[in-house]
Structure 1
Amino acid sequence: MRQGVRLAVDVGTVRIGVARCDPNGILASPLETVKRGKGDLDRLAELVAEHEAIEVVVGLPTSLSGREGPAAEAAREFAGRLAGRLAPEVVRLYDERLTTVTAESGLRAGGVHGQARRKVVDQAAAAVLLQAALDGERLTGRPPGEIVRGSS
């Protein structure tokens, strides 16, 4: 297992959930919600620098059958722009099936409802995504997902 903090981003049309893991890559936790739009890449770059992240995992939304639709295309485009902004840091796409559903049910079970849940669900989804990527890396011995080449 590689050492170093990793960040994960769950990219939505309005908000971007951000999570981070500990330097040993064991446990993911919610970090922040970034407003989507002007300045979002700048804020993510600030978070990468602030946490000295060795890579960023971007959620790739696919259908249960594994097919990619418009949301996956948008995530790939965003990941490409992020990779171009962060180079030489590594950006990876990782399958995020059911992360938001898992995050929603966990928050509901924890008694977080309504407006409070909407404020943190994106962060929680990013934490679920990152935890899945970390667990997958631990099981296979290989870095998670696919590397993204930067675009402008």
Structure 2
Amino acid sequence: MTLDLQLDALAAALPPRGRLLGLDLGTKTIGLALSDVERRLASPLDTIRRVKFSADAEALLKRTADFDVQALVFGLPLNMDGTEGPRAQATRAFMRNLRKLTPLPFAFWDERLSTAAVTRELIAQDASRAKRAEVVDRMAAAYILQGALDRLARL
């Protein structure tokens, strides 16, 4: 199944309005981004420092409840040739475990080069290395979510 079909299936399961949460799942952090209720704009939200799955899931599900999130969009870190490597498999495993804890629907969105694109933009804005490290994960999540929102708008 392609990523677009997964997103198409998610679109069919969503109410007309409601926020989506975008996730950039890393080994040390989870970057979060939130859409507006009309699902037009993704905004960086927060970064969760990863500890262990149960704590990570609890923090994530708290954000979904706080913002009345209707669905999750996970960045899927595919290899440049489109194949799935260890990071993509780890992302799928995280979602399989999270699925046991929440009924929220989800989709994966190709996140290739999202962190690189965000880092380039931050460098262009002359952001310090410390500032980039602080915001890159949630900005990458916003980049991922915005791509999915743009695709949803064309459905």
**TM class, shorter-chain normalised?**
0.7 to 0.9
* Residue of structure 2 equivalent to 1:146: none
> What does residue 137 of structure 2 align with?
122
Query: What is the percentage of aligned positions where both structures have the same residue?
Result: 38
- Contact 1:6–1:54 (Cα < 8 Å) also in 2: yes
Quick check: 108-117 or 18-27, which moved more?
A: 108-117
Letter in 1 for 2:106: V
- The total of aligned residue pairs comes to 139
Deviations 1:67-109 (A, max 9, x none): 11001000100111222222x2112211111111111112112
Question: 1:92-142: per-residue Cα shift (whole Å, max 9, x none)?
Answer: 211111111111112112222211110110000000000000001112x1x
Amino acid at match of 2:135: V
Output the TM-score relative to the length of structure 1.
0.87
Per the alignment, residue 84 of structure 2 pairs with 68
Q: Aligned partners of 2:141 and 2:24: how far apart in 1? A: 5
RMSD across aligned positions (CA): 1.2
1:26 & 1:70 partners in 2: Cα distance? Answer: 32
Counterpart position of 1:34: 48
Deviations 1:4-53 (A, max 9, x none): 10001100000110000100000001000001123111000000000000
Between the aligned partners of 2:51 and 2:61, the Cα distance in structure 1 is 14
Runs of 5+ in structure 2 lacking a partner?
A: 1-10
1:137 aligns with 2:149: no
Q: Partners of 2:81 and 2:74 in 1: how far apart? A: 20
Secondary structure of 2:46's match?
Answer: strand
> Is the 8 Å Cα contact of residues 79 and 93 (structure 1) preserved in structure 2?
no
Q: Does 1:109 align with 2:93?
A: no
Equivalent residue letter for 1:132: G
User: Is 2:104 aligned against 1:89?
Assistant: yes
Which is richer in helix?
A: 2
